[in-house]
Every structure is written in C-alpha cells, then in structure tokens.
Structure 1
Amino acid sequence: MSIEGARLMEKGDVTRGRVTEAKSSKLPNVQVGEWIEGEFTQKELADALKKTKDTAPGVDGLKYHHLSWFDPDSRLLALLYNECRVHRRIPAHWKEAETILLYKGGDELKPDNWRPISLMPTIYKLYSSLWNRRIRSVNGVLSKCQRGFQEREGCNESIGILRTAIDVAKGKKRDLSVAWLDLTNAFGSVPHELIEHTLIRNGFPEVVVHVVKDMYKGASIRVKSKTEKSEQIQIKSGVKQGDPISPTLFNMCLENVIRRHLDTAAGHKCLNTKIKVLAFADDMAILSESQDQLQRELTKLDRDCTPLNLIFKPAKCASLVLEKGKVNAAAVINLKGVPIRNMACSDTYKYLGIQTGVETRTSEMDLIESVVKEFELLVRDEELTLPQKLDCIKSFMLPKMTYMYGNSIPKLTELKYFAGETMKAVKSIHEIPHSGSPVEYCQLPISKGGLGVACPKITALITYLVSTMKKLWSDDEYIKKLYSDYLKEVVVAETGRQDVTLNDMAAYLSNETPSKKKNFGYTTFTRIREVCRGLSSIKDAPLHKIKIVEHEGKLAILVQAIEDGPEAVYTESHVKKLQLLLKKEANTGILHRFITQKPVKSQVVQVVLQHPQSNSFVRNGGQMSFSAHKIVHKARLNMLVCNANTWDATSTKQCRRCVKEKETQMHILQVCTYNKSGLITERHNAVHNKVSELIKKGSKRNWKLVDDSVIAGPSVKRPDIMLRSPDGKEIILADVTCPYEYLEGIQRAWDHKVEKYTKAYKYLEARGIKVTVLPIVVGSLGTWWKPTTNSLLQLGIDRKTINEWIPKLCAATAEYSKNIYWRHIKGDRYQSIPMKFGLDKPPGNSWKRGKRRKPPKPAKN
C-alpha cells in the first residue's frame, strides 16, 4: 500500500470515528456496578441452563443437555468460563459457526428463497448467554420504546399501542401520520466498531468491552450444503446470527439512532400520552401529528442511520396518513428521495407479523386457509397413526394461530369457519361421523374423556380477552395509562356519560350497557364485548356467565362455569395463569353441557371421568390396534352402525342375528347369543387369565389359587378366582365382568358380583373363615372402573404393576369388542385375525402384515 493510500485510509477511520461519536452523543452513561465483571457462579450457570432449549448443535455436535449431563452442578463450566473472563478471550474454535440453508419455497435458484440458519458451538452459546443476561439487566441502556428481545410481551405491546393510536385518531377525528420502516439486512450491517463504541459510551467497564470485542475478532462461518462445505468466511460486520448476545448488542447499537429521534421528534399525542417511535429490534414505526412533520422526521432519521451503515429500504416501507380521522390516500411520503407506499382505507401493512391498517378488524383468511389445507393433507396421510395425527394438530398446526389470536381481531365468521374445519378434521381422523356427533367430545381434554382439541373460536376469544386485560393491568405505567384512557374515552363516547366510573367501564365491557358504536367506531373494547357475549350468551357458549367487574378499585373478570356452580373472580394477581384458568373454566362448562344436554352420547365419558387413564391411548396410542382406534370413538358416542341407530322408520330395529331384542350397541357387545359363547366369553377370559398371571407374580403368590371352581358348601357359584391363605383362615373370591359403560349399569355390575356370593360368604364365615369378595370390572369399550384398582391390590398385585396393566387390559377389552361388533355385522364373512393387543398374540411373525412402503419417486428427466 502506498503512503498516500495509508494516509487516506487513516483519514477515513478518523472521519468514521467522528461520525460515530456525533451520532452516539445522546447515549446515556449508565451506572454499571462492579458486579458485571465478577466471577460466574454455579447458580448463575444453572439458572442460564434452565432457560435454554435444545436446538440443532454446532460443529461440536453437543446440545445443552449434554453439558448438564457432563457437569450436573456446573462446577467445571464455571471454572472454564471464569478463565475466559479473566483472560478476556475465548478459544478460536468457539468462534467458528456452520451455516445451513433452509428452503422456504419458490424458485430454488433465488437466494432469497433460502433461509440461513447459523449453528454455533453450544459451549460458546452458553458463555455468550451469561454475558447477555448481565448486560441486558443494566437499567437505562435501552429506551422504553425498544421492546425487542426482552423479557416482556414486546410484540403485543407495540401492536397494541399502534392500534390504540389509530383507533383514537379515527374515533376522535384527529390527525395522525404513521410510517413503518424496514432496514436492509439490519443485523448483518452493524459495524463492529459501532458495537465497541456503544459499549464504551454506555459506560461498560473495560472487561466487558474486551470480552465482546474478542467474540468478534476472527469470527467466521462455513456454509454447508447437502454435498459440501465452503471455506471459512470471516465476519467483518454485523452481529452474529444465532448468538444469544446478538439481539441485545443490536438493540444497543440502534439506540444511537432512537435516542436522537426521541430527543428531537415531536411525535404524536394520543389522548394524554406522547408516542414518538415504536421499535421491536429493527422493526420500527414512527408516529407524527401531520404528514409534513412525518416527512421531516423521516428525513432526519435517515441522515442519522446512513453513516452507521443502517440503510432503509423504501420498497418495504409504508405510510398511513389520517386527517381528521379520514385516510388521505393521496399523501406522498419520501424516503431517500423515493415515495414509499401510502395506504388507502382497505390496505394493510404486515407489522410484527400482523396485518395492520386503518380498519381495526382484519381478515385472516389467508392464514386460516393455509392451516385448513394442512388439515386436509393430514387427514389423507397414510403413514401417521391416529395419535400422531392428533399430536400434529395440537403441537404444530393450531399453535400457528396463537400469535394471531392475541394480536389481531379477525372477523367472528372467520373464527367460526376455522373452528368448524378443525373439528371436521379431528372427526375425519378418528372416523367419527361429521353429522350428529358432538363437538364436545373433540374439545374436552383427554383427562376428561375427550380428544383434547380445544375449540379455536373459544381459544381466540379467551386469548384476546387475556391480552387486553394484561395491558389494562400492566406493570408498565405508560401502557396502563394509555389503555385506561383509551377505555374511558370509548365508554364516554358510546354511552354518552361524561363522568364514567370504574363500574360503568366494567358494565360496558361486559356488554350490559347499550352503546352507540358509530360514535367511536369498532375498537379493541368492542371485541371484548363480543368476547363476553360469545363465551356466555349465545347458543353453545361454554360458560354460564363471564363479565368484567370492579374489584377492590380495579377491573377483574368474574366467571361462573355452570349455573349452580361457584363464581370465581380473577384479578391482576392471576395474570400469569389467567389463560389457563379461563380455559379450565370453559372446559368445565363444556363438560357440564355435554353431560346434561347429551346424556346418551356422554355415557362412556362419565365413566372415563372417574379414571382418566382409560383415555390415555388417545395421547400415546396405548396398547390398541389401528382398527380398534377407528371404532372405539364411534362406539363411545353410541354411533356404531346398527339397526337401533337408524332414523328410518320403515327399517327394522330388531337384531339381525338373534331377532329377539332391539339391535343396540349394548345388545351386540354384551348379550346377543350370536357371540355370547364365543368372542364375548373370550373377552372375559382374556382379562381373567391375565389377572391370574399377575396374582402368581404378586405378594400372594404363596396362596393357593384356584380358577373357575365351585365354592365349598351349598352354593353352586363358580368364581373366576379363589385364593386361599396358607393357614386356610382366609379366602378371597374374585369375579371378572366386562359390562357396557354407563354409570348405573357399571355400578350395578359391581354390586351384582358382590351379591352373587352372599350365600357362600355367610356359609364360610360361619365356619370361622374370613371371606372377601372382589369384583374386577373392566368396561367393554376400554374403560377402567376405579374400585377395581383396590380389588387388584387386595389380590397382592403391586400398584406399579396395576398402573402398567390398566391401559393394556382396557385395550384388550376394546380389541375383543371391536371383533364382536364386526363378527355380528359381517356374519360368516368375518375373518378372525390374531390380535396384537388382545392378550392372545401368537408366536412368530408370519401373521403380521408387512410394512407399507412408499412408492418410488419418479425419475427426474
């Protein structure tokens, strides 16, 4: 390099330094205690590990749980990290990352259609997270308007503040101008010199500055494809993707711009609150009183950003201009000399993942339809089991909607449509008829006898209610004041009262006060009125009552799940569990409605309630075949095809086999002579034989066991199991039965078994022998009668073994009942196939069906 070139380069460095110094002049010099450079403790490490989740490992191949396994008390890790802290350096290989590309869709040749994912060594990420937790906890480093990557609901708060400003400007016919800004490659553009300078300017000690500086010194990535890896690529600018400390460092660098804007901008006054800028990392929204003011502020903001290598992308920015509450679609806002998109009444901008515009309610049909298409593909999938499909819906598909539920206000008709499609998919997967089958069976939790898929509409209404109440109860006085003023202004406008009280506001939100919606338009609180009505007043509403009330000088939620049930009041002290508590109340109401309004279809569910393990197969598949899975749900709803279940008045209701009684499910599974001596008896024997085996391995294995033998004395009854103690002074009589599930019937079956041996009981007791009668009751549709557990305990079977065998015995009875039904329907065409889970599995593998294999992919041309 020539001497002149060196001088020019030195001059450029000085100029950049001066620019950085000028642009960071508004950064605060905060008080950072000596604690930030102190030793890492084992407790600090343990707390950090608790917050981590296993993700794809880096080049070291380790995950967080490996570190916990290797060093359970974090002693060795603390020693290692403290050495790095003392020397202010980390090993070179900690700085190496591997980047993989995930295909997003579209043209595979376009780089924009691939998402880079950086995989860093886990041992480094934990070290980085320790410093991140320390730096982030320093008060005053970040502005309150910066809500990105902090321990708060930043997206929800930012969207709520912006939504409030727009609604108030419309409702009160005020002026408001908003610009949504997008930075080009924001995280990858931050100069490393700016990171160092920002830390120094904020007053962080030399140790912290050197530690962070070393993290970036010599850092590199290697891009990995399916077949090869690139050479190491040095990271010369930008914060590192996938590094826990990166979001905090980026936010701190952006403060150079945000602080200058807050110092000079006039902003927008929403009621009694000033709003200037909303930031979630690089997603920013600028608010001003007028179009001209917004233009001036954007021009200045751009001048502040450009020298710091933070470049706005006009094509991805947008503006909204309201003049006296009306949209000015002709307004022109320039950025970098280029007009940005200005929104009309029907336009929206996707801000933090939510379509935002002048209209409070937005259509979410694109998202809804995309999930519905996934439902359709899942229903047709032949590779997944029923529990796996159900888990896909609950773990992957429905959670996609959660963010939208809390931050957007879709139309109620869209939520109703989505709820219907969800229930239809769940019924299709389990082969439950769409028509006539109760949705409550799909919606109830698995522990309550249902399939555990919550109604999306109910979930959406509850989620939005919780989201709004959190802001009215917020610990942040800024948000709490803004929302409280917003609510008061809406109530004043729509009720016509000037001096509204907290009770007036509660009555308005509870939909108990008539309102004039045109006075303010549709607002956040209009949706809360719809929530209260949708959860308690309309047909099929889950709750008897839900309303907003005044409680100890603050707003609270009063809920009554059923008419004769207790009332519960939820206050801000319940805010962390409010969503869960309200869902629990809704499930209580749904269960009560199911049992009281649909007693026939809820008979089996009532039995499951007294022992929820009877329904565990829904979640994990249990010991139940696919064919049994496909029939058991219809059977539990009394919807199996049989003569008694037809609405055709001209069709016979008599049994097609014995022609003696009506052909009901209970008749087929319990009493029809066609199967009585065959599969019905085999079902009983399967349970009997397994219980006998377990007794022989239990604590009473030294007792004399006699199966199916007549009791001594005048009685001719033959209990399935008779146990005699070694000294002959005690006898236990156990009898197995597999009754049809309805509470009165199953209790009657239990009582009958006790009464059956009364004569023998008295005869033996008269001779000084202690006699115990123990019924063993397992429902024919795979349910467990709770007192049976105690019977097995008295037979010497330990509780662990009982808990292990409950689902297996339930599955066995369901398997036999399935075969009983199909043999009854098909008659001579029925073919008996060995039951894998019917306790009669034959030896060998010749009877098993071969695995289904996917057809070969067509060859590419």
Structure 2
Amino acid sequence: MVSVLAYADDLAIVTKDPDDLHAVLKTVSEVSTWLGLVFNSKKCASLVINSNKHTTMPIEYKVQGSRMVTLDSNDHYEHLGVPTGYYQGSSADKTITKMHQCLDKIHSSLLAPWQKADAVNTFILPCIAFHLKNGHVEKKKHLIPFDKKLKKFAKSWMSLPSQASPEVVYLPHNMGGLGLIQTKTLADVMQLVHAVQLLESTDLGPMTAQLLRTAVQKKIKRAPTDSEVADYLNQKLDGAFETYYADTRNMWTRVRQATGHLVKTDKLDVKWTWANDKIQLLVLGCAVTKKTCEKMLKRAVHQAQLVHLTAKKSQGKVYNITAHQPVSNYFLRDGRYIRFADWRFVHRARLDVVPLNGCNRARDQKDKRCRRCGYQLESVAHVLCHCPAHAHAITLRHNAVLDRLVNAIKLPATTTKYVNVKIPGTDGQLRPDLALVDHVKKRVTIVDVTMPFENHDLGVFAAARAEKLRKYADIFNKFNADGYDTFLDAFIVGPLGGWDQENDNVLRRLAISVKYAALMKKLMVADALKWSRDAYVEHITAHRQYQA
C-alpha cells in the first residue's frame, strides 16, 4: 500500500515496507527528471519506524541520486509548518515568540484601546490558529503565559483593576467585551473543528471514522459499539472505560482531551453523539457541520463566559441587562460617539470595581456611607441615580435622552406637542415628558422617560415601566374614554447604557425612521454614559464636570 499526501509542491509518501519506499522514490525520481523537476535533497527527509520495537530504523534513502536526511526518534521535520517525527514535536515556537513581540508593540503603541483589541484579533490570534488545529502547542509552556499577558494588557486597555472579572475581556463586542479569546481555549476548539472537518470530508471521512474506531478499540480492548465511540470522545470514565488502559497518543486522544477541557473547565455545552449512522458533535444542543463548527464553538465559549460573569452577585449584575442588547455595547468595536473618559469609566462602573465606599470589599472597610449625603451605602446605583448631590446632573442626563427623542419627531400640522408640561384638559398636575395630541385625528401619544439603574435583570426595567403606566393611567383612561387612539408607554435607558428593547414600540409610534432610530439609540447610550461619568467623577473629586 502506498499513500501520498500532497499540497502544492510538498509530498508526503507513506508505505508499509521500507523496500516499497525505495521503489516509490525511484519512480518519483525518474518521473521528476523527465518533467524537468529537481528535488532539493537537503529539504527532504525520511523516517522509518519499527512498530514492534517502538523505535526508528536508520535506513538511508535517495531522491534523484542525492541522499535525503534520515530522521531518528528525536528528530523532527517541519512539514507544512508542523514538526513531524516519531514523537510529536512542539509546534509554533517561533510563532509564539513573534506573537509576544507583536503584543508588546501593540500595547505600547498610541492606538486607541478598542483599536489595540482589534489589532490582536486581526493580526495576532490568527497566527496561531493553524498550529492549534494541525500541530501540538504546549499549553503550559506557550499558551498559558501568552494568555496571562494578554489578559493583563486587555484589562489595562479597559482601565480595569486586577481584581476585575476577566470574562469581560473575552465576551464579544455585542455583549460588552473586547472579543478576545484565550489561546488555550482556542486550542481545544480547533482540535474539535479539525476532527469534524476530517469526519465530514468526502475523501477522508470513511478512513477517519475507521481510525477513530481503532483508537477506541485499543482503549477498551475490544470492538466498540456506536455509543461507545461517542462515549470515548466525551471522556467517559465508567462502563467500558472504567478499566484503565494507557492510550497511545494520537489525534483522537487529543480530541478526547480537548472535549473534556471544554466541558469540565470551560463549562461549554458540547457533546459527541452517534446519530444517523455517524458520529456528530452537538454544540448548544445543535448538530454542527464542518462549515458551522468553529462559529458555533466560539459562540458556546462566549455564552459560557457570559453565564459565568452574570452569576457573580456584584460584578455581573449590570451585564445581566447590558449584555443582551447590542446597542448598549456599540462603542466596544470602534469607540464611536463616546469620550475616552467615558471609555475609562464605563467598564469599571459596570463591573462595580470603582473606588466607592460601598464597592470596597476589604474586610477593614466598615464605613459604607456616602461621602456626599451620608446615605448608608455608597454604591454605583446610589451615586448615579439617587444621591441628592448630583440631582442636577441626573436631571440633565434625563433631559439629554428626552431631547434626542423630541428632536427626532416630525409632527403633522394637526398635532400639538407638549414637553414636560401639563396636558390641557386633564385633571391633576402630572406632567409627562412628552405628549402628542391630535384632536382632529383623535390620536394621543404619551411617553415618559425613565433611567433606572441596571440591577441584576430586566425585571428592573419592567418594574419601571409598570410604575409609569400606573402613574399616568388616569390621563390614559380619560382620552381613551373620549374615543381617542391613546398610546402610553415608558422610554427606558439605563445610566450605564442599558437599553430596553420595548423602547422600539415608542419609536414606531412616533414614526421615527428605522435608519435614524439606529443612530439615535447609540447617541442616547452615549449621552447616558457621558452624564453618568461626569456625575461619578464629580462625586469622587468634588469638582464640577459640566457647565450648570
């Protein structure tokens, strides 16, 4: 049997017998000479393995009359960038060194923080992907040190202290993170991607599946069932796998180990299963293909990071809201419409790692009172939403959002607009933020802006909306009883950029175009962050941050 793996001008010839290789090389030499091709023997190598003695044999081979390099058990030949030999060599040593150098240069550059993260994602992390899929990169020696440096630098780009949760570094932009990924996790992901691609390959699929069965058979010392093949990859340790037999390290042992890491360490929803007469990989409960595998696995990584972050009582409470609306995190990708000061503030505030008395978790910190008003707990929520010392800034933040909404409305000639005033003809002294009354078409729209703190879950927004509906229920009922097409709703934006998707109902009612609404949402989030940052800095420094 002769097997040939070819890619561009690289050939890998595999035979079962050393003499067969002599014959094949002779034929290859004759054909190449006839075609006018010349092999560089210094770049060619041979490896002969004695499987019975588990060692190599020093047999020399020639190509076109020139002697090839003969590999022994400790030598490696770099084939397609991957060290190949009797033992698996460490791949990407030079690449890792270059990645460290590039990361240092990016960190010390004058790029904006979001540009640094984008540079890492675009130019550095892709360098290692090939080696993680096809080679062997030592995690402890190469990947973990790089991940530690990247995490340290990324936290500094987000102006986060060392005790801040690292998950925010690895969340995608639309969830409020920098969109980075740990290379040790990426290594496991790429192993599974490589396995799925081989199993679904038209040419190599059947052979790959047979090699998998052979690997399982060596593990359990008998022919495996279909379900046992899946159990092997899922790193099952009971039943047929309860008795320990040492594995010969191969591709499938690496896939098995990678699956275990992703499930047990990274808490991913990943599982191998046997269905439709073939082995399949389930990610987030869905079967993946070779085209969707990498995307789905990375999505599962992001989902696991978010679950881990939001489970944290303090640092995850804001992300329970902001991570679910991409508009709340639009600035993570390009920093548009916000100030550098806002960037330095927002990540610390969302993670609750700002230097406030109520956020200091040191055991010797006993006084949690507000330094301005004496309230019992000086928290981010108190400073941004409730502290009397910043009532004016809080009002200006509210008005900034309201003004965006009011200025976006194009009024028909028959419609009268009332902003923060009592609606004529109504009882009481209530003044909704915005009221549009059209007596000709008998149409009334009432909207009230509110900015509750993003605290743990969307129930905060629902409660704020319910309170506004209760507050203006009498006005709603009056116009409704008079036969008007009446609309009443709250418009909610959190002080840290949390966006309530129910706001879209208001935008549709006000007939604001979809195109401008997309821009206006970002501007409103930017306004909320700007005024929240100014209120916070004024609270800490006692220096006014805006013109009254």
Q: TM-score, normalised by structure 1?
A: 0.58
Give 1:297 shift: 4.4
| d(CA) in 2 for partners of 1:278, 1:794 | 64
Other structure's SS at 2:83 match: strand
Other structure's SS at 2:542 match: helix
2:38 aligned to 306, 311, 317, which one?
A: 311
Aligned to 2:280: 556
1:491 aligned to 200, 207, 216, which one?
A: 216
Aligned to 1:810: 525
On the 8 A contact 1:658/1:672 being kept in 2, the answer is yes
Per-residue displacement from partner, 1:47-103 (whole Å, max 9, x unpaired)? Answer: xxxxxxxxxxxxxxxxxxxxxxxxxxxxxxxxxxxxxxxxxxxxxxxxxxxxxxxxx
2:267 aligned to 541, 561, 583, which one?
A: 541
1:639 aligns with 2:353: yes
| d(CA) in 2 for partners of 1:615, 1:811 | 10
2:450 aligned to 737, 751, 755, which one?
A: 737
Per-residue displacement from partner, 1:183-221 (whole Å, max 9, x unpaired)? Answer: xxxxxxxxxxxxxxxxxxxxxxxxxxxxxxxxxxxxxxx
Per-residue displacement from partner, 1:540-594 (whole Å, max 9, x unpaired)? Answer: 4222xx33332232222244x4xxxxx4445xxx333233233334444443343
1:605 aligns with 2:319: yes
Give 1:726 shift: 4.5
**Change over 3 Å in CA distance of 1:511–1:361 after alignment to 2:** farther
On the 8 A contact 1:610/1:786 being kept in 2, the answer is no
Aligned to 1:348: 76
1:463 aligned to 167, 190, 194, which one?
A: 190
Pairing of 1:340-379 with structure 2 (within 5 A): 340-360=68-88, 362-379=90-107
Letter of the structure 2 residue corresponding to residue 503 of structure 1: S
Aligned to 1:706: 418
Other structure's SS at 2:422 match: coil
2:541 aligned to 799, 809, 826, which one?
A: 826
Other structure's SS at 2:396 match: helix
1:624 aligns with 2:338: yes
| d(CA) in 2 for partners of 1:772, 1:589 | 40
Give aligned pairs, total: 538
Give 1:524 shift: 0.9
| d(CA) in 2 for partners of 1:770, 1:279 | 73
On the 8 A contact 1:610/1:785 being kept in 2, the answer is no
Give 1:705 shift: 1.6
**Change over 3 Å in CA distance of 1:377–1:624 after alignment to 2:** same
Letter of the structure 2 residue corresponding to residue 683 of structure 1: R
| d(CA) in 1 for partners of 2:123, 2:243 | 40
Letter of the structure 2 residue corresponding to residue 579 of structure 1: E
| d(CA) in 2 for partners of 1:682, 1:699 | 25
Pairing of 1:388-787 with structure 2 (within 5 A): 388-413=115-140, 414-439=142-167, 441-476=168-203, 479-497=204-222, 499-512=223-236, 513-514=241-242, 516=244, 518=246, 521-538=248-265, 540-543=266-269, 546-559=270-283, 561=284, 567-570=285-288, 574-595=289-310, 597-651=311-365, 652-677=367-392, 679-695=393-409, 698-700=410-412, 702-712=414-424, 713-727=426-440, 729-742=442-455, 743-762=458-477, 771-787=486-502
Aligned to 1:301: 28
Q: Between the two proteins, what is the percent identity of the paired residues?
A: 27
On the 8 A contact 1:542/1:590 being kept in 2, the answer is no
Other structure's SS at 2:224 match: coil
Give 1:667 shift: 1.1
Other structure's SS at 2:47 match: strand
On the 8 A contact 1:372/1:422 being kept in 2, the answer is no
On the 8 A contact 1:781/1:813 being kept in 2, the answer is yes
Give 1:753 shift: 2.0
Per-residue displacement from partner, 1:437-456 (whole Å, max 9, x unpaired)? Answer: 141x2333333444333443
Letter of the structure 1 residue corresponding to residue 267 of structure 2: A
**Change over 3 Å in CA distance of 1:484–1:690 after alignment to 2:** closer
**Between Structure 1 and Structure 2, whose CA radius of gyration is higher?**
1
Give 1:633 shift: 1.8
Give 1:381 shift: 1.5
Give 1:664 shift: 0.7
On the 8 A contact 1:360/1:523 being kept in 2, the answer is no
Letter of the structure 2 residue corresponding to residue 480 of structure 1: G
| d(CA) in 2 for partners of 1:701, 1:424 | 58
On the 8 A contact 2:176/2:332 being kept in 1, the answer is no
Letter of the structure 2 residue corresponding to residue 541 of structure 1: K
Other structure's SS at 2:384 match: helix
| d(CA) in 2 for partners of 1:496, 1:665 | 61
Give 1:480 shift: 3.3
On the 8 A contact 2:48/2:58 being kept in 1, the answer is no
| d(CA) in 2 for partners of 1:367, 1:314 | 26
Give 1:628 shift: 1.3
| d(CA) in 1 for partners of 2:314, 2:234 | 35
| d(CA) in 2 for partners of 1:506, 1:755 | 56
Give 1:307 shift: 4.9
| d(CA) in 2 for partners of 1:334, 1:457 | 41
On the 8 A contact 1:314/1:335 being kept in 2, the answer is yes
On the 8 A contact 2:220/2:245 being kept in 1, the answer is no
Pairing of 1:60-459 with structure 2 (within 5 A): 274-289=1-16, 294-295=21-22, 297-298=24-25, 301-324=28-51, 326-328=54-56, 330-335=58-63, 339-360=67-88, 362-382=90-110, 384-413=111-140, 414-439=142-167, 441-459=168-186
2:515 aligned to 792, 800, 804, which one?
A: 800
Other structure's SS at 2:48 match: strand
| d(CA) in 2 for partners of 1:289, 1:403 | 29
Other structure's SS at 2:296 match: helix
Other structure's SS at 2:445 match: strand
Letter of the structure 1 residue corresponding to residue 469 of structure 2: V
Letter of the structure 2 residue corresponding to residue 405 of structure 1: L
**Change over 3 Å in CA distance of 1:502–1:659 after alignment to 2:** same
Give 1:669 shift: 1.0
On the 8 A contact 2:384/2:394 being kept in 1, the answer is yes
| d(CA) in 1 for partners of 2:242, 2:432 | 70
| d(CA) in 1 for partners of 2:60, 2:485 | 96
**5+ residue gaps, structure 1:** 1-273, 562-566, 835-861
On the 8 A contact 2:56/2:86 being kept in 1, the answer is no
Other structure's SS at 1:644 match: coil
Letter of the structure 2 residue corresponding to residue 707 of structure 1: V
